[in-house]
A = this chain, B = another copy of it.
Amino acid sequence: MHRFHVFVRQAAASLGSATDVNCFSDGAWCLTRRPFSSGLGHRPPTGGGQGEPGFSTVAEVQAAVSAPNGKSRQKILTLQSMNPQVKAVEYAVRGPIVLKAGEIEKELQNGIQKPFSEVIKANIGDAHAMGQQPITFLRQVVALCTYPGLLDNPHFPKDAKKRAMRILQGCDGNSLGSYSASQGIKCIREDVARFIKQRDGGVPADPDNIYLTTGATDGITSILKILVSGWGKSRTGVMIPIPQYPLYSALISELDAVQVNYYLDEENCWALDVKELRRVLNRAREYCNPNVLCIINPGNPTGQVQNRRCIEEVIHFAWEENLFLLADEVYQENVYAEDCQFHSFKKVLYEMGPDYFNNVELASFHSTSKGYMGECGYRGGYMEVLNLHPEIQGQLVKMLSVRLCPPVSGQAAADVMVNPPTPEDESYEQFMREKNAVLSNLAKKAKLTEELFNQVPGIQCNPLQGAMYAFPRILLPPRAIEAAKDHSMAADMFYCMRLLEETGICVVPGSGFGQRDGTYHFRMTILPPAEKLKILLEKVNAFHMRFLKEYA
């Protein structure tokens, strides 16, 4: 941990930055403004430092500034005094590599010559940032809700106006500016329930079981927050896939729960094997109370789409072992492989019969940020719960009421997601054209990415069946691993830092998601436009060849 920290600090220093990047093993990080570098509040005391000999760390020295009485003054909130669970949080997707990408962008702006002209941030699933255009109907509806004066404007189609009026009628005072119910606007929850019922071939969905959320992140946070309890051996254990989306590990840290890792089978296209779940569960029961099982389907960062049989096995396992299921299904629209299909956990649960459907406790999540809309900034989404104890639903609403409500414009965006135009609607044709263009492009890019990566010796990429990322395995020569060690870095972080420095391409090291010891990966989105993606993949591949040669 320490060595890595030192390296990246040096790396940041070599960039001439006013910011230090502190990295920890496994891709953890924090950024540290250099003390006393900017702003009145950060000025050093004149003649300060007299208190320093008493402090044992740099942080403590930095925390000491002169006080009105001339005595040195210790800050109240320091790395030592802060919430230790927050300190333990790691979140690689916006980690040190992204910070460095920002620094390099600034250098380019300042005219510093690089072997590339722009930084490509392939680290995050941020469709619009990569040039994807919004779905017109969605933005029309939200604009009409925002500024109802436009309801008279002939430019806007009738169906968009009708939808906007329906949403506004669901808002107190007919305004997006009023608080909604904490659980979300009722007519939107009804639309969500209808969407789910239709998606799942008629399986009933109850609007009272729908919670509109501030992105899926908020739903996952809420349900985990209410689930975690106990101390020592009875502390809640949360089973998560490895590789995982690091929101899970971050929340587990923050809530001081126990992270219980189960490994996906890379050799078998990142499949989930119930034997692995059982192995992990039995071991975890020796030191905690593992009663929550998280599934990400389609997989992030791994891109696999679970088949129906696997989901059945997982559900049976959860039923048998009394586990609360969290199904992260935010990529449900993003299925590209022809032999794959998205099956919701809820639908499979229903089809397994009432004994399962009436018993297994499930929370599933969806988001406006992914799919073909990619509206990340709206922070819209929903959670559906099943078989929650009635008293717990009351507790959930109470807990949510403290933060008042999810953003109402995000709720409006979620409404369009779950209730798109139908064939009889004026906007249908344009909507379908836009939707299909996004999804067919993504499918092509998924294939292209897999193909191009697998042409290169030392890169192995499983099929991108769904979601929006490649998570290729990179076979690093022993000398490269040694070199990374010399730089006090995880080997895949070293690789990704070099990739960024030499090509301007920003990807996230596999260590930020978790991976089997001795294996190395990175996550890259396939969101850049096709032509750009192709060039990008070729650049990665060329870099990889150079890297292999250098460390052969």
The interface bits of chain A over 163-179 (1 if a CB of B lies within 8 angstroms of the residue's CB, else 0) are: 00000000111011111
> Do A75 and B361 touch (CB < 8 A)?
yes
Q: Chain B residues near A73: list those with CB within 8 A.
A: 359
A470 at the interface (CB under 8 A from B): no
Residue among A361, A405, A409 with max Cβ neighbours from chain B (10 Å)? A409
- Tell me the minimal C-beta distance from A495 to chain B in angstroms: 22
Separation of A108 and B141 alpha carbons in the complex (Å): 31
The interface bits of chain A over 215-248 (1 if a CB of B lies within 8 angstroms of the residue's CB, else 0) are: 1011001000111110000000000000000010
Separation of A405 and B377 alpha carbons in the complex (Å): 8
- Tell me the minimal C-beta distance from A473 to chain B in angstroms: 26
A114 at the interface (CB under 8 A from B): no
The interface bits of chain A over 13-41 (1 if a CB of B lies within 8 angstroms of the residue's CB, else 0) are: 00000000010000001111111001111
Q: Chain B residues near A229: list those with CB within 8 A.
A: 81-84
- The B-contacting residues of A in range 241-280, CB under 8 angstroms, are 247, 250-251, 254
Name A22's contact: one of B33, B75, B221, B394 (CB within 8 Å).
B394
By beta carbon, the residue of chain B nearest A32 is B394
Separation of A134 and B68 alpha carbons in the complex (Å): 46
Q: Chain B residues near A22: list those with CB within 8 A.
A: 394
- Tell me the minimal C-beta distance from A516 to chain B in angstroms: 25
A379 at the interface (CB under 8 A from B): yes
> Do A250 and B173 touch (CB < 8 A)?
no
By beta carbon, the residue of chain B nearest A373 is B177
- The B-contacting residues of A in range 143-179, CB under 8 angstroms, are 143, 146-147, 149-150, 153, 155, 171-173, 175-179
> Do B388 and A77 touch (CB < 8 A)?
yes
- Tell me the minimal C-beta distance from A17 to chain B in angstroms: 13
A1 at the interface (CB under 8 A from B): no
Residue among A31, A355, A390, A399 with max Cβ neighbours from chain B (10 Å)? A390
- Tell me the minimal C-beta distance from A404 to chain B in angstroms: 6
Band of interface residues on A = 35 or more
Separation of A364 and B215 alpha carbons in the complex (Å): 26
A357 at the interface (CB under 8 A from B): yes
- The B-contacting residues of A in range 350-403, CB under 8 angstroms, are 353-359, 361, 373-379, 386-395, 397-399, 401-403
Q: Which segment, of A122-130, A300-308, A486-494, faces chain B?
A: A122-130
Q: Chain B residues near A377: list those with CB within 8 A.
A: 171, 175-180, 405, 407-409
A40-B358, A251-B402 known; A178+B68 contact, CB < 8 A: no
Q: Which segment, of A317-325, A414-422, A461-469, faces chain B?
A: A317-325
A107 at the interface (CB under 8 A from B): no
- Tell me the minimal C-beta distance from A59 to chain B in angstroms: 6
Copies held by the complex: 2
Separation of A215 and B66 alpha carbons in the complex (Å): 35
A30-B391, A39-B209, A68-B359 known; A215+B143 contact, CB < 8 A: no
A140 at the interface (CB under 8 A from B): yes
Separation of A449 and B84 alpha carbons in the complex (Å): 47
Q: Main SS of the interface on chain A?
A: mixed
Name A173's contact: one of B41, B59, B130, B226 (CB within 8 Å).
B130
Q: Chain B residues near A74: list those with CB within 8 A.
A: 322
Q: Which segment, of A86-94, A517-525, A532-540, faces chain B?
A: A86-94
By beta carbon, the residue of chain B nearest A77 is B392
> Do B87 and A395 touch (CB < 8 A)?
yes
By beta carbon, the residue of chain B nearest A363 is B77
A129-B178, A147-B139, A391-B79 known; A376+B404 contact, CB < 8 A: yes
Residues of A within 8 A of B (CB): 22, 29-35, 38-43, 45, 59, 62-63, 65-68, 73-79, 81-84, 86-87, 89, 91, 93-94, 124, 126-132, 134, 139-140, 142-143, 146-147, 149-150, 153, 155, 171-173, 175-180, 182, 204, 206, 208-209, 214-215, 217-218, 221, 225-229, 247, 250-251, 254, 291, 319, 322-324, 353-359, 361, 373-379, 386-395, 397-399, 401-410
List 6 extra interface pairs beyond A149-B155, A247-B402, CB under 8 A. A30-B391, A30-B394, A76-B361, A77-B388, A91-B398, A214-B403
